[in-house]
C-alpha cells in the first residue's frame, strides 16, 4: 500500500518506495528508490499508502486503513500507539548506534504487533491460557494441548484459517461444562478435539470410534465428525451432519450446528470460485447455496440474537454480500458490526482484521470509484472515501487516478458527518477540500482561526490543527507554524503525535535557518532518527562542533557529528581543519558510528602502496596541498575503508537535511585524488604510476566509474593505460596491470 514521498503542501515522512499503484490504499507516482528518511513540507505528492503506511492525522495519502483506524480510535474501538521512544543515552564507546528509521509514517503491521496482534513470539492469548486450564481440569496430557496450539499457530489458508484457538476452546469448554456427560467422556471428547486441532485438510484418516455411550456424548461425537468433514473438504457430508444436529437437545450442540449450517453452505457456495493462486471468479459462486447460507444465519440470529456465534454470524453477512457482489449491502453490514462493537470492547486483532476486510473487500473493489455510491450511513467509511479521492496523483499520461467528491455532495450529508460520534468530521472534510483540492491555505487559516490545542484531543480535532499548521507553512508564515507545532507538542502525550510534531519542528527550524535550535539544550526535537539526517547533511561546521563539545549531547549525536565533520573536512580539502578536529576530538573516545574509527588509520607498508598514518598524511597536505604521495594516500584511505564509511546521500532540497550545510569547497571523490596526481607535472615515478593504476581500476570490470561521478571517455582511460604500461613498464604497478576498461 505505499511508499514515501510527501504529504501535499505539507509533512511528509519516511517510507518504502513502490513502483506501482496497488490496492485501495495506493498512492502512485512513487520513486523506485527512496532515501532512508523523507520528511518534507512542500506542495507535492506522497505515496506511502502502497506499503500500508500512514501518519497519525487524517489526510488523503494515508493508507485507507490508517484513516479508518484513526476514526475508529475516536469511536473508542481501537488504540493506535507506539511505545514512548527511549531517551538518547550516554552509552559506553562501542555501543550499537541508533536506527535511522523514523516511526512516522508508521507501518500498520508495526502497530498491529505493538497492539498485541501477530508478533514473532507472541504471548499466549487469553483463550490459549483458558484452554490449557480447562484441559488441566480434565486431566489431559499437556503435550496434547501444546501440540494442538502449535499446529493452530502455524500459517493456515482458506477454510483452515477459520480454525483458531477459540474454535477449539468452545468445544472443549462445552464438554467440560455439560452436566449430562459421563466423567470419562469429557476427557475422551476434549482429547479428540485437541488431536484434530490444526490438522485441517490433513484429517484424511478415518476417525476412530469414541467410547461414549450417553446421548450427550454421542451428540458431541457426531459434531466432531461433522467438523472433520468440514475441515477435510467433504462439505456435502458436513452439511448433512450439521443439518441433523440442529435439533439436538444438547444446548451447545444444537446452537453450534444451527450456526455451522450457514458456514458449511457459504463454503459450498464459494468452493469453485477461487483458483489455485487465490484469484476470485464471481461467476463461479453458487448463488443458490449463498442465498441459503444467508437465510441460515438469519434463522440462527432469530433463534439466538445474543448467542455464542451471533457476532460471527453478523460478520459473515459481509462475506456473503461480497461473494454475491452486493456492494450496497456491505456498508449496512459494516454499520451493524460497528454498532455491535460500540456495546463491547473488541480485541485489537478483531478491529485490525475488520480494517483489512473493508480495505480488501470494499474499497479495493470499486469503493473509491465515482460510479459507486458513497457509504454515508457509515461516516468513518464515507470520510475515508472522500479523503482518498482527494489524492492528486496522475498516470504517466497525465490522467488523474482519483476523482474528487464534489463539495455540494458532501454538504448534502453534513448531518450524517456531524453526528454525536463524529461532530467535527464534516468541518475537517471541508477544510481538506480547501487545502488539498483548491490549494487555498488562506481559506483554511480563516476557518481555523481561534482553534487552539488542548489535551486529549480527538484525532479529528488534532487533524484540523495539523492542517492549520500545514496551511501556515504553505502561506509562508513559518514562525506561526513553529509556535503551533510547539504548542501541539506540549499538550500531546501520544508518541505517534509527538513523532509527527517533532518532525514538523525539525523541518521548520531547518528551513528557517535555525537548525542550531534542534540541538539546543532545551530542544523538544529529541528523536535521534531526526537528528541523524540533519547532522549528516545540513549541519554547518559550527553546529557540528557545538554538538560534539556540549556535555549534554547524546553519545550518538556526538559521534555522528564528529564523523560528519571529519569526513567533510577531508573530502572538501580542509586539511588544516581536519587536523585540528582530529587532535581536539580523538575518535577513539567516541562511539563507532558510520565508520568514525577509520580516521585512526595508521597507514600501510609495502607491498601495498606505502602510506603514513592518515593524520600525518593530512598534516602534510595542510602545508603541501599538491603533494602526490599524500593525495594518493588519501585516495588509498577511501579505497581501504569505503565499505565502512557511511556519509549517506544528500537528500533533495525539499527533504529533511536538504538545505545547505555551509561547508566551503566541492567534495572530492576518490578518483579526484588520482586525477590531481596524474595532472601534476611534478608527479613522477611511483606516485604517478600508482595514480594511473588506481584510475584505470576505477572502471573495472564493467567500464562504469565506481570511484566517483565523473564521465571519463574511453579514449582517456586508454591513454592512462598506455602511459602506465609504456612509461612504468618496470614499475610494480605497471607490471601488474593487464587490462583497461
Q: Each residue of 461-516: pLDDT tens digit?
A: 999 999 999 999 989 999 999 999 999 999 998 888 998 999 899 999 999 999 99
According to DSSP H, which parts of 123-281 are helical?
Answer: 126-137, 142-153, 165-177, 183-196, 215-231, 235-245, 251-270
Return the pLDDT at 8: 30
Range of the domain at 405: 1-115+349-512
Question: Of 66-80, 109-123, 682-696, which gets the smallest average pLDDT?
Answer: 109-123
Percent of the chain topping pLDDT 90: 70
Q: Average pLDDT, whole number, for the chain?
A: 87
Return the pLDDT at 48: 42
pLDDT band at 91 (very low <50, low <70, confident <90, very high): very low
Q: Is the pLDDT of residue 155 over 80?
A: no
Q: How would you label 687-712 residue by residue, b for 16+ Cβ within 10 Å and e otherwise?
A: bbbbbbbbbbbbbeeeeebebbeeeb
**Is 105 part of any domain?**
yes
pLDDT band at 290 (very low <50, low <70, confident <90, very high): very high
Average pLDDT over residues 712-739: 94
Q: How far apart are CA 347 and CA 336, in angstroms?
A: 17
Angle formed by the axes of helices 686-697 and 670-678, nearest 10°: 140
Return the pLDDT at 83: 56
Return the pLDDT at 63: 86
Average pLDDT over residues 696-701: 93
Q: How far apart are CA 711 and CA 83, in angstroms?
A: 49
Name the domain count of the chain.
1
42 or 358, greater pLDDT: 358
**Is 287 part of any domain?**
no
Return the pLDDT at 720: 96
Q: Is the pLDDT of residue 94 over 70?
A: no
Return the pLDDT at 364: 85
Cis peptide before 105 (omega within 30 of 0): yes
pLDDT band at 47 (very low <50, low <70, confident <90, very high): very low
Return the pLDDT at 36: 25
Q: Is the pLDDT of residue 452 over 50?
A: yes
Written as nine digits, the cell of 601 is 588509520
Return the pLDDT at 652: 80
**Of the candidates 112, 102, 114, which has an alpha carbon nearest to the alpha carbon of residue 498?**
102
Average pLDDT over residues 726-741: 92
- Can you give the pTM of this predicted structure? 0.83
pLDDT band at 41 (very low <50, low <70, confident <90, very high): very low
Average pLDDT over residues 506-530: 93
pLDDT band at 82 (very low <50, low <70, confident <90, very high): low
118 or 434, greater pLDDT: 434
Q: Residue 121, CB half-sphere, CA atoms under 13 Å: how many?
A: 0
**Is 270 part of any domain?**
no
Contact 721, 740 (CB under 8 A): yes
3-state class (DSSP) for residue 228: helix
**Is 173 part of any domain?**
no
**Is 176 part of any domain?**
no
Return the pLDDT at 11: 37
pLDDT tens profile 223-239: 999 999 998 889 999 99
Pairing of strands 53-54, 106-107: antiparallel
**Is 369 part of any domain?**
yes
**Is 70 part of any domain?**
yes
**Is 449 part of any domain?**
yes
Q: How far apart are CA 120 and CA 517, in angstroms?
A: 40
**Of the candidates 369, 330, 422, which has an alpha carbon nearest to the alpha carbon of residue 74?**
422
pLDDT band at 200 (very low <50, low <70, confident <90, very high): confident
pLDDT tens profile 582-624: 999 999 999 999 999 999 999 999 899 999 999 999 999 999 9
Return the pLDDT at 138: 94
Percent of the chain topping pLDDT 70: 88
Amino acid at each position: 500500500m505505499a511508499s514515501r514521498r510527501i504529504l501535499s503542501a505539507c509533512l511528509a515522512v519516511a517510507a518504502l518506495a513502490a513502483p506501482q499503484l496497488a490496492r485501495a490504499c495506493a498512492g502512485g507516482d512513487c520513486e523506485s528508490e527512496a532515501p532512508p528518511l523523507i520528511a518534507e513540507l512542500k506542495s507535492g505528492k506522497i505515496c506511502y499508502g502502497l506499503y500500508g503506511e500512514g501518519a497519525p492525522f487524517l489526510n488523503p495519502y494515508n493508507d485507507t486503513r490508517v484513516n479508518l483506524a484513526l476514526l475508529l480510535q475516536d469511536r473508542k474501538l481501537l488504540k493506535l500507539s507506539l511505545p514512548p521512544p527511549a531517551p538518547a543515552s550516554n552509552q559506553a564507546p562501542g555501543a550499537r548506534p541508533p536506527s535511522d528509521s523514523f516511526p512516522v509514517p508508521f507501518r500498520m503491521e508495526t502497530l498491529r504487533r505493538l497492539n498485541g496482534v501477530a508478533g514473532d513470539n507472541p504471548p499466549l492469548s487469553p483463550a490459549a491460557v483458558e484452554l490449557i486450564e480447562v484441559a488441566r481440569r480434565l486431566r489431559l496430557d499437556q503435550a496434547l494441548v501444546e501440540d494442538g496450539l502449535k499446529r493452530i499457530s502455524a500459517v493456515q489458508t482458506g477454510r483452515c484459517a477459520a480454525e483458531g484457538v477459540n474454535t477449539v476452546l468452545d468445544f472443549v469448554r462445552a464438554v467440560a461444562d455439560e452436566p449430562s456427560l459421563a466423567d470419562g467422556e469429557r476427557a475422551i471428547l476434549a482429547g479428540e478435539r485437541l488431536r484434530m486441532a490444526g490438522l485441517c485438510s490433513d484429517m484424511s484418516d478415518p476417525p476412530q470410534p469414541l467410547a461414549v455411550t450417553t446421548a450427550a456424548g454421542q451428540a458431541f461425537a457426531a459434531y466432531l465428525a461433522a467438523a472433520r468433514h468440514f475441515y477435510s473438504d467433504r462439505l456435502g457430508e458436513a452439511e448433512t451432519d450439521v443439518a441433523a444436529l440442529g435439533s439436538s437437545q444438547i444446548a451447545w450442540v444444537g446452537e453450534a450446528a444451527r450456526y455451522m449450517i450457514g458456514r458449511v453452505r457459504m463454503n459450498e457456495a464459494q468452493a469453485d470460485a477461487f483458483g489455485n493462486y487465490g484469484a476470485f471468479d464471481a461467476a463461479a459462486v453458487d448463488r443458490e447455496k449463498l442465498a441459503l447460507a444467508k437465510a441460515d444465519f438469519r434463522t440462527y440470529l432469530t433463534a439466538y440474537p445474543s448467542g455464542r456465534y451471533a457476532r460471527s454470524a453478523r460478520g459473515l453477512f459481509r462475506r456473503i454480500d461480497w461473494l454475491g457482489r452486493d456492494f450496497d449491502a456491505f456498508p449496512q453490514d459494516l454499520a451493524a458490526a460497528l454498532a455491535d462493537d460500540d456495546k463491547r470492547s473488541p480485541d485489537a486483532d478483531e478491529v485490525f482484521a475488520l480494517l483489512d476486510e473493508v480495505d480488501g473487500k470494499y474499497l479495493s473493489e470499486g469503493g473509491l470509484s465515482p460510479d459507486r455510491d458513497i457509504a454515508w450511513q457509515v461516516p468513518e467509511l464515507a470520510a475515508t472515501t472522500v479523503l482518498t479521492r482527494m489524492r492528486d496523483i496522475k498516470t504517466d499520461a497525465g490522467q488523474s487516478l482519483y476523482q474528487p467528491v464534489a463539495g455540494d455532495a458532501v454538504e448534502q450529508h453534513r448531518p450524517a458527518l456531524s453526528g454525536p460520534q463524529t461532530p467535527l468530521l464534516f468541518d475537517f472534510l471541508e477544510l481538506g477540500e480547501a487545502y488539498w483540492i483548491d490549494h487555498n491555505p488562506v481559506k483554511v487559516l480563516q476557518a481555523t482561526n481561534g482553534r487552539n490545542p488542548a489535551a486529549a484531543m480527538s484525532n479529528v480535532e488534532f487533524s484540523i490543527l495539523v492542517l492549520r499548521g500545514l496551511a501556515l507553512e504553505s502561506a509562508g508564515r513559518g514562525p506561526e507554524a513553529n509556535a503551533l507545532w510547539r504548542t501541539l507538542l506540549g499538550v500531546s502525550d501520544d508518541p505517534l503525535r509527538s513523532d509527527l510534531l517533532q518532525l514538523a519542528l525539525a523541518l521548520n527550524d531547518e528551513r528557517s535557518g535555525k537548525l542550531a535550535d534542534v540541538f539546543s539544550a532545551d530542544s523538544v526535537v529529541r528523536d535521534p532518527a531526526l537528528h541523524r539526517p540533519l547532522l549528516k547533511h545540513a549541519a554547518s561546521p559550527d553546529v557540528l562542533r557545538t554538538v560534539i563539545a556540549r556535555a549534554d549531547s547524546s553519545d550518538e549525536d556526538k559521534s555522528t557529528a564528529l564523523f560528519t565533520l571529519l569526513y567533510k573536512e577531508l573530502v572538501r580539502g580542509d586539511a588544516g581543519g581536519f587536523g585540528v578536529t582530529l587532535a581536539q576530538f580523538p575518535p577513539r573516545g567516541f562511539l563507532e558510528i558510520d565508520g568514525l574509527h577509520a580516521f585512526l588509520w595508521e597507514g600501510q607498508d609495502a607491498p601495498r602502496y606505502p602510506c603514513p598514518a592518515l593524520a600525518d598524511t593530512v598534516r602534510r597536505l595542510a602545508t603541501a596541498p599538491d603533494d602526490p604521495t599524500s593525495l594518493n594516500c588519501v585516495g588509498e584511505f577511501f579505497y581501504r575503508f569505503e565499505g565502512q564509511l557511511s556519509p549517506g546521500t544528500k537528500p533533495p532540497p525539499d527533504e529533511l537535511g536538504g538545505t545547505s550545510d555551509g561547508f566551503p569547497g566541492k567534495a572530492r571523490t576518490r578518483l579526484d585524488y588520482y586525477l590531481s596526481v596524474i595532472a601534476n607535472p611534478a608527479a613522477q615515478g611511483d606516485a604517478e604510476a600508482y595514480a594511473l593504476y588506481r584510475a584505470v581500476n576505477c572502471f573495472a570490470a564493467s567500464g562504469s566509474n565506481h570511484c566517483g561521478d565523473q564521465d571519463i571517455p574511453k579514449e582517456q582511460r586508454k591513454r592512462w593505460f598506455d602511459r602506465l604500461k609504456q612509461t612504468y613498464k618496470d614499475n610494480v604497478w605497471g607490471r601488474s596491470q593487464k587490462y583497461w576498461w
